[in-house]
Amino acid sequence: MANAVTTEAVQASTTTTNSSRGAMPVVTTLFFMWGFLTCLNDILVPHLKAIFDLKYVQVMLVQFAFFSAYALFAIPSGKVIDWIGYKKTMVAGLMTMALGALLFIPAASVPSFPLFLAALMILAAGITALQVSANPYVAVLGSPETASSRLNWTQAFNSLGTFVAPFIGGALILSSAPKTVEQMRQMAAPELQAYRLHEAASVKLPYLGLAIALFVLGLIIAKVHLPKLSVEHHDPSSKPTGSVWKRSHLVLGALAIFVYVGAEVSIGSFLVNYLSQPNIGNMAEKMAANYVALYWGGAMVGRFIGSALLRKVKTGTLLGIFAGAAASLVLVSMVTTGHVAMWSILAVGLFNSIMFPSIFTLAIAELGTLTGKGSGIIVSAIVGGAIIPVIQGALADRFGIQPAFLLPVVCYVYIAYFALKGSLVKPQEAAA
């Protein structure tokens, strides 16, 4: 999913090469965990929708609660790093994630949709702290020349987490034969409550296991030796010049991140319900969950392909091509049915792959001493994953699930515009 690297971290240095090599496998595990947990939301969406008989706009509050954490906790997490350092912030993030996972148990015992949302926000707060600390840490965990290679490696494990989550989550959480909304509405109140308690209970064991795993991983991180990063000493005479908000390519890039994350999360959130439609995949939700893995797995494959292509093609050009392809595939899915509609929407994941790092790179180009502030703005823009799915949910309730995919199309069209035109740095805005 979305990763950001601050300029200060990139310019910092580590202690010893041997320690760096030993730390990499440990830190890489973190990337897998937050990718897994983020993608597990795509399984929660159809599950909670069925349990609480929610409209699409209501159940998309799952993603709203989760991704709002980026806007609320990204900047505070940066201050926590200044206070206690990268390693302790990673541990704090893992413990917060463990607490959020544990809160799924009382939420399922009631069961209560608001409690599920509260648990998700606490879980996401921990993930935010983990992202803000682990990404820049990996960037400097070795020589600057291989920073990109290390980040691609860890991000691949993040994608691996998003790939396996639908398989495991679908098998453990989704019922093989859930009752329809019509059947639930015909139940007497006591019978309906008993059914909801039974269905909600399916999340207890998976999230209890995750809470234990996160807690143990936090203890391991706390005990293992991780090289300390030296603090960058800025030249007092080097001060930021001008306002970061006057850099148009940064502002347009932040908006591109907003719509990219929103489009990616919206599509993933709707996939189980979309593929189970009679005119699309006509399959049970549990089976549809397995296909969601292909959507996220495509991003993992595309990351490797894109990495090779970016050596020969300019970033803006390739990003524009990928955004255009993604928009076209969503349109194809909207106007077709059956396997064409199904496979075209799944293929969008392949073209999502390079978007975040490419947009990020183009947005912070030539910011000079304002790069740090620009990076913070971009991280906060990940909140698009909270807002756009809710809007698409409202569109799905009003016009139907298939027409609602017009919103991601608009998002990808804007990304193509940013790639080919909006990302160009104006001479008068280039930092000295």
Domain boundaries, the chain: 8-229, 241-421
Same fold, 8-229 and 241-421: yes
Per-residue pLDDT tens over the stretch 52-105: 888 999 998 998 999 898 889 887 887 787 788 888 989 999 999 999 999 999
Least confident of 47-61, 192-206, 321-335, 359-373: 359-373
Give residue 295's pLDDT.
92
Whole-model pTM? Answer: 0.73
CA dist list (Å): 387 to 77, 353, 398:
21, 21, 17
Mean pLDDT over 294-301 rounds to: 88
Look at residue 125 and tell me whether its pLDDT is greater than 80.
yes
The C-alpha atoms of residue 344 and residue 323 are separated, in whole angstroms, by 14
The C-alpha atoms of residue 117 and residue 63 are separated, in whole angstroms, by 9
324 band by pLDDT with thresholds 50, 70 and 90: very high
Give residue 362's pLDDT.
85
Give residue 136's pLDDT.
64
Per-residue pLDDT tens over the stretch 138-149: 655 666 545 445
Look at residue 266 and tell me whether its pLDDT is greater than 50.
yes
Q: What percentage of residues in the chain have a pLDDT greater than 90? A: 39
Give residue 14's pLDDT.
38
Give residue 15's pLDDT.
43
Give residue 371's pLDDT.
64
As a whole number of Å, the CA-based R_g of the chain is: 21
Mean per-residue pLDDT over the chain, rounded: 83
Give the tokens for residue 117: 């949302």
- Positive or negative, the Cα torsion across 170, 171, 172, 178? positive
Higher pLDDT, 275 or 371: 275
Closest CA to 289 of 159, 166, 162, 160: 166
Higher pLDDT, 177 or 193: 193
Contact 333, 344 (CB under 8 A): yes
For residue 171, the one-letter residue type is A
Mean pLDDT over 416-428 rounds to: 87
Mean pLDDT over 1-27 rounds to: 53
Mean pLDDT over 278-302 rounds to: 88
Per-residue pLDDT tens over the stretch 154-187: 777 888 888 888 888 888 888 656 676 677 778 8
432 band by pLDDT with thresholds 50, 70 and 90: very low
Closest CA to 74 of 87, 93, 61: 93
Q: What percentage of residues in the chain have a pLDDT greater than 70? A: 82
Backbone torsions φ then ψ of 277, nearest 5 degrees: -65, 140
Please name the fold of domain 241-421: Growth Hormone; Chain: A; (1.20.1250)
Mean pLDDT over 197-225 rounds to: 90
Closest CA to 97 of 130, 137, 135: 130
- For helices 17-52 and 113-139, the axis angle rounded to 10 degrees is 160
Give residue 71's pLDDT.
87
Look at residue 411 and tell me whether its pLDDT is greater than 50.
yes
Give residue 78's pLDDT.
76
Give residue 128's pLDDT.
87
- Positive or negative, the Cα torsion across 42, 6, 133, 119? negative
Pick the CATH number of 8-229 from 1.20.1740.10, 1.20.1250.20, 3.40.630.30, 3.40.50.720: 1.20.1250.20
Please compute, for residue 128, the number of CA atoms within 13 A of its CA located in the half-sphere on the CB side. Answer: 29
Least confident of 198-202, 213-217, 271-275, 343-347: 198-202
Look at residue 4 and tell me whether its pLDDT is greater than 50.
no
Q: Of 120-134, 213-227, 292-306, 411-425, where does the model show the most confidence?
A: 411-425
Least confident of 54-58, 74-78, 259-263, 293-297: 74-78
Mean pLDDT over 307-313 rounds to: 80
Look at residue 303 and tell me whether its pLDDT is greater than 90.
no
Give residue 357's pLDDT.
79
- For helices 384-399 and 61-84, the axis angle rounded to 10 degrees is 180
Contact 170, 289 (CB under 8 A): yes
- Positive or negative, the Cα torsion across 278, 282, 283, 289? negative
